[in-house]
A and B are shown apart, each in its own frame.
Chain A
Amino acid sequence: MKLVLTAALLAAALPAAAADLRFAATSDPNTLDPNAGNSAPVFSLLGNVYEGLVRRDREMTIEPALAEAWEPLEDGDGWRFRLRQGVKFHGGQDFTAEDVIFSYERASSEQSDTSSWFAGVTSVEAIDDYTVEIRTEAPNPIFVDGIANWMMMDSGWAAENGAERPNIEQGNFATLNTNGTGPYMVTERQPGLKTVLTAFDGWWGEDRGNVTTATFTPVQNSATAVAALLSGELDLIEPVPVQDAERVDATDGVNVIRGIEARVIMLGFPHDKDTLLTGGENPFKDVRVREAVAHAINVPAILQTVMRGSAEPTGQLVSATTRGYTSGIEQRAYDPDRARELLAEAGYPDGFAFSFKCTNDRYLNDEAVCTAINAMLAQVGLKPAFETVPVANYWPALRADEHDMYLLGWSPGTFDAEHPIRFLVSTPNEEKLLGSWNFGGYSSPRIDQLLPGIQSEIDEEARQIMLDEVANIVADDVAYVPLYIQPLIWGVRDGAEVIQRPDNFLNIRWINLPE
């Protein structure tokens, strides 16, 4: 490992020679249109091609990108952005305020998958060529955090090619072609097979490594990807299967880089149902039963065995790197005796039967984790009817309320603690887009009351007090049982310098490859 570090340092210190990067990931972005797909694979790839007004740095902090500076409007209801001058799109067009207006209209349109980012926005106006004012209904402290993936497109290019609006169902020119301002241009695109990115010489920024061409191949089978890394046909793969990580790391010529994703894996409960799927009344309405479940699960043991020590336990819905994280809330300790006591207190000394649903192709080793949980629940006398489902069937089943206890992973898109409150904890309300992933129907009037304040309080301290209160209510109520934070395990060629961020995006411009 030490050798590797030195190699990486050397690579960083020397003027790096141009290098070709060959990398693989499990899934191919289903589109190159930044408004037609709101998913990590899409933004991870497009983040190299398109840019937003703001972007995230190596530590996930928001920093200027196409906007040089921004400030709240005088009345507080919105933000003023000063745009960077002299920025060119790959096609040679100038980037101006007009493009920001166009990109807003496109990204917030009915046909777009990103419209919810702009839910509270009332107007976007160009004051001059390089100043834009975005007005919101109320002050919005995390608006800027929420638009890091809002990518700027050239209005002229879109109009010429008939791609003024995204088209999710039919596709259009922007599905296969790009014209961003970012450090890389897409020079070849074969959906599902191969995507080639080439460095854009006219990029305004400076912070970039030595990769001049990057070839991306989606490889579904992780054993194939590992073999290709070991044989030297690939320079970077993600993910390396948890069970292979040690072996890969021990192999000459390759290295494993580990990190923590922002995704928290948790168990959810049926809060608002009167009867369970297995029949009978719903004991999960009793907080003692939910607490018993939390005490029954030995998370450290699961991480040690199933995850081979590469994940971190958590007691909250967000990881410590997330903005607005509440310190001091720990995971409930593994204590099967306490679990049995609590069950007896709640009136279920002999446990009860319920359905326990899990995915088997969504999260790292999800099926194995759930199998372990299933056994641990049985040890305290509970009788889960355990079932694993492919993710394509999983969400429809949960939405149709065909679940009792279930597994859920959540990565906050805004990297702010408000995100899971809005989606997982708020009382479901379709119109306001609240609680849209709160399948169990958890409801706390106090949290519903606090959320608008959290969404509009500009003062960091006052806002944190509200976030802390919500985090404590969620933990005390055992609304969910947070288990662990999913690890990131990438495999790279020896000497490659790669930055791994908790959003699992691959920023090619930060990569330095050895000769």
Chain B
Amino acid sequence: MLAYIIRRVFQSIIVLLAVGLVAFSMFRFVGDPIEQLLGQERTVQDVERLREALGLNDPFPVQYAKFLGRAATGDFGISYRQSRPVAEIIAERAPATLELAFVSGVLALGFGIGLGVFTAIRRDGWAANIIMSASLIGVSLPTFLIGILLIYLFGVQLRWLPTFGRGDVVDLGWWTTGFLTSSGLKSLILPSITLGLFQMTLIMRLVRSEMLEVLRQDYIRFARARGLSAKAVNFRHALKNTMIPVITVTGLQLGAIIAFAIITETVFQWPGVGLLFINAVQFVDIPVMAAYLMLISVMFVMINLLVDILYVWVDPRLRIDGRHS
């Protein structure tokens, strides 16, 4: 197991280097940051001085190497837009995104698995049919449209919930949380539904089809014949055996929730790293873009690793195979 993890960490480093390389080679197509930094009345000297100061005159491999060298020591440079260390900015913004992703993830998993099991057991019930039809909305509507619709309905028409922002947050020093204030909790509702809806319907449909598959198996029939309660059959025996694909998908989707919070964060003006990234792209803020892409790839690599470890934990067969090989 340890050798396996070490091997995976080693692979991860290669993935990161590749992501950095691809990202850096793409930045030159995003535009020229000088255009954003200096006003219309700038002089040629201003432009030259700033290009030199930002290291934009260096050839691309030199810029990349400098970035890697500094990133290895945890220094991601200084944001062009905010003139502050990128690490500081990301640390400031990360809690907003992580809290949003956490709530979305919990909603997606809880409702996804619950509704999936329900629709599988009551396959022909009217409630299950309604849920299945409604889930098509979640799968097919684009995130920004769901967000705008929710804002319009609950923010503008009913005025129950705030239309943008994170509400009041409590600063814990190293973390800001919206969980401790009522405006913070209210603000979480619409964005987390928007962000989690797709994942929820995906998990629900997956759980349902896996359950239907498992419920047909002989051992379920025997379990029923043995007189086990419906609860024990459905949840102990059936659900547990549907978990492998669900864990895979959920793991990857959790990464997606964080990475693709960009759109939800833009629609709700959610002060997280996704919004930061969008601003950085518009401003050609290369240090922020680079740091964000690296962090997201680190996250995906970690999640994949975790998923692999979870497999072993859930499926005993893998453990035995692992011992043999």
Contacts and interface: CB of A to CB of B under 8 A. Distances in A.
A298 interface: no
Contact of B148 (A31, A171, A223): A223
Nearest to B36: A392
Given A30-B82, A392-B30, A217 B165 contact: yes
Contacts of A169: 50, 53-54, 78, 80, 83
Contact of A171 (B84, B152, B266): B84
Interface stretch (A35-43, A86-94, A124-132): A35-43
A113 B38 CA distance: 6
A243 interface: no
Contacts of A231: 155-156, 159, 162-163
Contact of B41 (A110, A117, A392): A117
A222 to B, nearest CB: 11
Given A113-B39, A115-B43, A227-B151, A221 B267 contact: yes
Most A CB contacts (10 A, CB to CB) among B30, B46, B163 go to: B163
Interface string B44-59: 1110011001100000
Interface in B260-286: 266-269, 271, 275-276, 278-279, 282-284
B30 A170 contact: no
B43 A224 contact: no
B95 interface: no
B40 interface: yes
A191 interface: yes
Interface in A210-235: 217, 219-221, 223-225, 227-228, 230-233
Given A115-B43, A169-B54, A227 B152 contact: yes
B81 interface: yes
Nearest to A390: B31
B132 to A, nearest CB: 31
Nearest to A175: B83
A93 B278 CA distance: 40
A162 interface: no
Contacts of B82: 30, 171, 175, 191-192
Contacts of B165: 217
A329 B82 CA distance: 44
Interface of A is mostly: loop
A511 interface: no
Interface string B200-228: 00000000000000000000000000000
A168 B164 contact: no
A413 interface: yes
A282 interface: no
B151 A224 contact: yes
Given A113-B42, A191-B82, A224 B164 contact: yes
B308 interface: no
Contacts of A31: 83
A233 B163 contact: yes
Interface residues of A, number: 53
B83 A168 contact: yes
Contact of A230 (B53, B156, B162): B156
Interface in B5-50: 29-32, 35-46, 49-50
Contacts of A192: 81-82, 271, 275-276, 279
A232 to B, nearest CB: 7
A396 interface: yes
Given A30-B81, A175-B84, A437-B40, A396 B32 contact: yes
A449 interface: no
Nearest to B280: A192
B35 A392 contact: yes
A436 B42 CA distance: 9
Contacts of B49: 110-111
A169 B38 CA distance: 11
Contacts of B284: 392
B83 A38 contact: no
A393 B283 CA distance: 11
B81 to A, nearest CB: 5
A168 B269 contact: no
A114 interface: yes
Contacts of A190: 92, 271
A352 interface: no
A186 B84 CA distance: 18
Contacts of B41: 38, 114, 116-117, 413, 423, 433
Contacts of B39: 37-39, 113-114
Contacts of A193: 271
Contacts of A171: 78, 82-84
Contacts of A167: 83
Given A30-B36, A38-B41, 11 more contacts: A28-B279, A113-B42, A113-B46, A115-B46, A116-B43, A191-B82, A191-B89, A220-B266, A231-B162, A395-B32, A433-B41
> Which 4 A-B pairs rank lowest in CB-CB distance, beginning with the nearest?
A171-B83, A38-B39, A392-B31, A396-B32
Interface of B: 29-32, 35-46, 49-50, 53-54, 78, 80-84, 89, 92, 148, 151-152, 155-156, 159, 162-165, 266-269, 271, 275-276, 278-279, 282-284
Interface of A: 28, 30-31, 36-39, 110-111, 113-117, 167-172, 175-176, 190-193, 217, 219-221, 223-225, 227-228, 230-233, 361, 390-393, 395-396, 413, 423, 430-431, 433, 436-437
6 contacts: A39-B39, A113-B42, A191-B82, A227-B164, A392-B36, A392-B284
